[in-house]
Every structure is written in C-alpha cells, then in structure tokens.
Structure 1
Amino acid sequence: MAQVRIVSDGPNYRHQIHAGAHHVVADEPATLGGQGAGMAPFELYLAALSACTAITLRMYAEKKGWDLGEFRAELSSSRDADNRLLVHRVLHASGALDDVQWQRLLDVVERTPVTLVMREGAVITSERAAG
C-alpha cells in the first residue's frame, strides 16, 4: 500500500521522511527539545487524515458534478478524561452547496480510507534489521 523511510539527520529531533520522490521534515517544537524545523508527529497524523479528507471529498464532488470551490479542512486534536485521542474536523467549501449536498459530504467523510483505519486501529510490528 504505502512505504516511507525516515532518516535521523539531526540536530536534535529533526528527521527526513521520504516517500518515493517526496520528502517531509519532521521535528519537535523547541518547547520539547526540537528545532521546530518540521511538523511534529501528531501534526503529521492530522495531516494524513486531512489529506485523505480533502482528496476523498474532492473526488466525490467531481464524480457528482458538484463545485466545491476552494475546499479546506481544519483539524484539531485533544484528549478526553480517559486520555483517548479526540480528533475534530471542520470542513469549508466556497462552492454553492445546499444542505443536502453538505449532509452527503459529511456522510462520505466518515468513511474515508484513513478515517476508517484510524478508527479501527492497525496491527504494528517491529523488527531489527539484518546486518
């Protein structure tokens, strides 16, 4: 499905993330000992969800012949009393969409591929590289 590679190039917590021909810098903010040179891990988490949100809704709207205009999604995270992560999305579109279209978009956004994976969790394994 997807593959990324991360390389620690310093200073402190700055890392280069590579996916094919693309790269992103990850870091921690200065308040956590980083340099603020890139997005922090939970920002990358929200970025993945926001990208999937925007792409899925754009694809859906195009298929329906709806004009989203400029679309943006604002995501924020917090923790509840049990320390579970809560993510909230606020969706904006400059296109002239009626209430029925918006309700359909809000239904579709609940089933984007990344939304579903984040809700169900993932099996994560690790191993030491040979050599």
Structure 2
Amino acid sequence: MHATATHREGMVHEVEIDGHRIVLDEPLDQGGTDTAPSPTRLVTAALAGCTAMTIRLYAARKEWSVDGLVVDVDFGGAPRAGESARFDVVVTLPDGLDEAQRERIMVIAGKCPVHRILAGGADVVTTERGPGG
C-alpha cells in the first residue's frame, strides 16, 4: 500500500492511494478552510468503518444478521507528548442476536486491522528525498 499527498492550496492536499483520491483539509481554527476532513478525522473514520466491516464480514460467515449495525467512534484529538491517544468505540448491535453472539461480535470488533494498528503502536520512519529524487 502506498499513498502520495500533493499540495493543492492553503492546507488542502490531495492524497492518492491505490488509484483512489482523497482530499484533506484542516478546520478553520487550524488554518484550513474545512472543505474536507482533516487527517485525524480520517483516522477516526477509518476506525469506525473498519470496525463495522470486520463485524459484518464475521457475521456473514456465521450467517448472523447484523442489519442496523452502527459503529460510533469519538476521538479527543492528538495526545500530548508522553500520553497515548484514546478512541472511544461504541458498537450498537441490532436485536435478534443472543448473548453469546453479541459477546463474540464484541471480541471481533477489536480485531479490525485499523484497531490493531492503533492499539499496537506503529514504527513510523521518516526520510528525506532530495529534489528530483
């Protein structure tokens, strides 16, 4: 997987990832024009979407209906130095599932790839490429 961010204007950047284009901006209070989600908002959205998709894939294999599933994620913002980030994930499951199914789905919710990346930490290595490189 590879992503490339290209400046458009102000704080607006376009990111291309595997043939898809995503526009990013910052809120007004951060110097942006709030015309698109900020990078941290996209991380929050990725966690919500990944959790919902992981639950749906698991439920489909088990032939359990999760129609009406809703995943809400709240993120307070980037942590200060020495603190860890906190995401609050609330899964609303539909009626019709028994207690054992609900418990298993909640275990599976924590296994989505984005959750694992965020919870496990990541090594981010930043290097410089000179002009024309």
TM-score band, normalised by shorter chain: 0.7 to 0.9
Q: Is the 8 A contact 1:67 1:95 kept in 2?
A: no
The one-letter code matched in structure 2 to 1:50 is A
Structure 2 unaligned segments of length 5 or more: list them.
Answer: none
Partners in 2 of 1:31 and 1:44 — Cα distance? 18
TM-score (normalised: structure 1): 0.87
* Residues 72-108 of structure 1: per-residue CA shift (max 9 Å, x gap): 2110012789743211111124452222211111111
Secondary structure of the corresponding residue to residue 86 of structure 2: strand
Count residues with an aligned counterpart.
Answer: 129
Q: Is the 8 A contact 2:93 2:102 kept in 1?
A: no
Secondary structure of the corresponding residue to residue 85 of structure 1: coil
Instruction: Give 1:106's aligned residue.
Output: 106
Instruction: Give 2:118's aligned residue.
Output: 118
Q: Percent of aligned pairs with the same residue?
A: 25
- Offset at 1:114? 1.6
CA pair 71-51 structure 1, distance change in 2 beyond 3 A: same
- Offset at 1:71? 2.3
- Offset at 1:116? 1.3
| Structural RMSD (CA) | 2.0
- Offset at 1:20? 2.1
Structure 1 unaligned segments of length 5 or more: list them.
Answer: none
Whose RCO is larger (CA < 8 A, sep 6+)? 2
TM-score (normalised: structure 2): 0.86
Partners in 1 of 2:94 and 2:23 — Cα distance? 31
Matched ranges for 1:63-74 at <5 A: 63-74=61-72
Instruction: Give 2:46's aligned residue.
Output: 48
Tell me whether 1:57 sits opposite 2:55 in the alignment.
yes
